[in-house]
Amino acid sequence: MYTPELHYYKLSEDVIAFSTTRHGGASKGNYGELNINPYCGDDPAAITTNRQALCRTLNIEDSHLFLPHQVHDIECLAITEDFLQATPEQRQQLLEGKDALMTTLPHLCIGVSTADCIPVLLYDPRHHAKVAIHAGWRGTVSRIVKETFRKMQRVYGTLPEDALAVIGPGISLKNFEVGQEVYDDFALHGFDMRLLARKYPCRNNPTQEKWHINLPLCNQLQLESVGVPRSHIQQSGLCTYDNVGDFFSARRLGINSGRIYTGII
């Protein structure tokens, strides 16, 4: 029997917030060991085994763990009683194309998959609202964290001063090398590149320099821009590229590799 190793966050006594590591599952190779993402090419039998092991660890039913099929957009799905009454096929259709989930229902685990992108968890203790967000660079440019928080406010009445946040494992500034077109996209969308970008020697040609962008900070600033206090935002400080032995990194392992699951119950 497998025992998943999880990285926990001290977000609130009312919730369990965590990210999976690579340890304690049945997957092999670049998917090894603990991958529950069914969209990245892993062995379906291993995914099922890993998912069941994770649910045992979290003490929840398999049908109460949710993972959307992310597409680097900004759509957020609310998990409601109506969703729970839907058939498995209907549920899967609703989860298609979503990059964020939110709910106030108890004993449910919502989460997102990443492997260098930035996972963000939000919790509103006043309304018991939980949110999980997948912020890749495209989602970050589109301000998915800010937009999802606005939806959290509309649906649940969340106040910025109540919100608690975790920014989980993702690629760090020094390892997120980008092309000029990515830098230009951030600049075009009004981000303060003096704060977020820096040039480093190019990985493939150290005689040249390329831009690097600080995705964790960029998503933190989006939360601050809507009024979430800086003291309520935890940065995990975990770089997936540097810590590929413990966390999946697509830039280190390739696209055909496992994914971290960052969730909240």
Is pLDDT of 19 > 90? yes
Tens of pLDDT, residue by residue over 197-230, are 999 999 888 899 999 999 999 999 999 999 999 9
pTM of this structure: 0.97
Tens of pLDDT, residue by residue over 175-191, are 999 999 999 999 999 99
Over residues 231-247, the mean pLDDT reads 98
The pLDDT assigned to 71 comes to 97
Question: What residues contact 157, with CB distance under 8 A and at least 6 apart?
Answer: 127
Question: Residue 240: which of 175, 196, 178 has the closest Cα?
Answer: 175
Question: What residues contact 235, with CB distance under 8 A and at least 6 apart?
Answer: 167, 216, 220
User: For residue 100, what pLDDT band results from cuts at 50, 70 and 90?
Assistant: very high
Structure tokens at 90: 């209907």
The pLDDT assigned to 226 comes to 98
- Count of beta carbons in the 10 Å neighbourhood of residue 150: 14
Structure tokens at 29: 């190779």
Is pLDDT of 88 > 90? yes
The pLDDT assigned to 206 comes to 87
Which of the 8 DSSP states describes residue 240? T
CA distance 167 to 104: 20
- Count of beta carbons in the 10 Å neighbourhood of residue 104: 15
The pLDDT assigned to 163 comes to 98
The pLDDT assigned to 204 comes to 86
Give the whole-number percent of the chain exceeding pLDDT 70: 100
User: For residue 1, what pLDDT band results from cuts at 50, 70 and 90?
Assistant: confident
The amino acid present at 1, given as its one-letter code, is: M
The amino acid present at 105, given as its one-letter code, is: L
